[in-house]
Amino acid sequence: MNPTNSTNDIAALVDILVRSSRNQERTLGDLLEILQRESEALRQGRAELIPEILGELQDGSSRAMRCEAERDSSARKLAEVLGCPPAAGEICSRLDPSLCGELLEASRGLM
């Protein structure tokens, strides 16, 4: 870790990564719900619902891709500061343990 990086700066980067990971998890959950509604509509033979659901699916997919890009960018920024690959385990191995719990929890939520 570069000694010029303050603990507060690193904590702020960890917080951004945690928030972006949780946002991505929520967005992927929303996408799953849309897919479940689509599956149910198809199972019930409700073809009239499909165009609207496909629009929601397209919007949800776009949001999910933006969330992934934000999370990836956050992880890369933090990893660069810490001098490691942008993986949660690698990042945590270089952090004070007090900063790691929430990050690992958010990372597991994406698994």
Of 3-7, 21-25, 40-44, the poorest mean pLDDT is in 3-7
Instruction: For residue 5, give the H/E element and its range.
Output: none
For the segment(s) 7-110, the CATH number from 1.10.3470, 1.10.260, 1.20.58, 3.40.1710 is: 1.20.58
CB-CB contact of 102 with 13 (8 Å) = no
Average pLDDT over residues 18-28: 96
Instruction: For residue 93, give the H/E element and its range.
Output: helix 88-93
* Residue 36 pLDDT: 97
CB-CB contact of 1 with 81 (8 Å) = yes
* Residue 5 pLDDT: 63
Res. 79: pLDDT tops 70: yes
Domain boundaries, the chain: 7-110
Res. 80: pLDDT tops 50: yes
* Residue 110 pLDDT: 87
Contacts with 80 (C-beta within 8 Å, 6 or more apart), sequence order: none
Residue, of 7 and 59, whose pLDDT is higher:
59
Nearest C-alpha neighbor of 68 from the set 110, 10, 14, 32: 110
Amino acid of residue 14: V
